[in-house]
Amino acid sequence: MTQSSKPRTLDELRAALRQFAADRDWDQFHSPKNLAMALTVEAAELLELFQWMSEADSTTLPPDRKAKAQEEIADVFLYLIRLADKLDIDLGAAAAEKIALNAARYPADRVRGSSKKYTEY
């Protein structure tokens, strides 16, 4: 497979993951319950990279850490695409809707520079 033929868009990635599971007969393990578990596990593996690191250090990772972060980020992404597919949810549309919802919920001129969102709930 040439570099240029690699799946890159959400649609291509979803199709590639469907094929991947079908080729291995792994659909049987991919209940939404299990995929949500796997997604959380991968998110925590990503979190682990940062757990004893200062916020400042987390902004400039050395190459080996960045490579590790990239792999964990990819794992989260793959399970997220797979879970959305299994639940028949359009990932791109869901994200677009949530951005619109957040924009209405947090008007820029009212929350600018404030961490209010983050401290009140």
Site for its own copies in 8-37 (CB under 8 A): 8-10, 13, 16-17, 20, 23-25, 28-29, 31-34, 36-37
In angstroms, rounded to a whole number, what is the distance separating the alpha carbons of residues 16 and 7? 7
Is residue 2 within the footprint of its own copies (CB under 8 A)?
no
Write down the least CB distance from residue 58 to its own copies, Å: 4
Is residue 108 within the footprint of its own copies (CB under 8 A)?
yes
Per-residue interface string for the shown chain with its own copies, residues 65-104, x marking contact by CB under 8 A: -x--xxx-xxxxxx-xx-xx-xx-x-xxxxxxxxxx-xx-
Write down the least CB distance from residue 36 to its own copies, Å: 5
Residue 51 DSSP label: T
Write down the least CB distance from residue 15 to its own copies, Å: 11
80-83: Cβ within 8 A, 24+ apart: 80/39, 81/10, 81/13, 81/14, 81/17, 82/14, 82/17, 82/21, 82/30, 82/35, 83/32, 83/35, 83/36, 83/39
Residue with tokens 């007969």: 25
Q: Confirm if 61 and 69 have CB atoms less than 8 A apart.
A: yes
Write down the least CB distance from residue 14 to its own copies, Å: 10
- Of positions 2, 48, 82, 105, contacts its own copies by CB under 8 A: 48
Query: Total residues at the site for its own copies (CB under 8 A)?
Result: 79
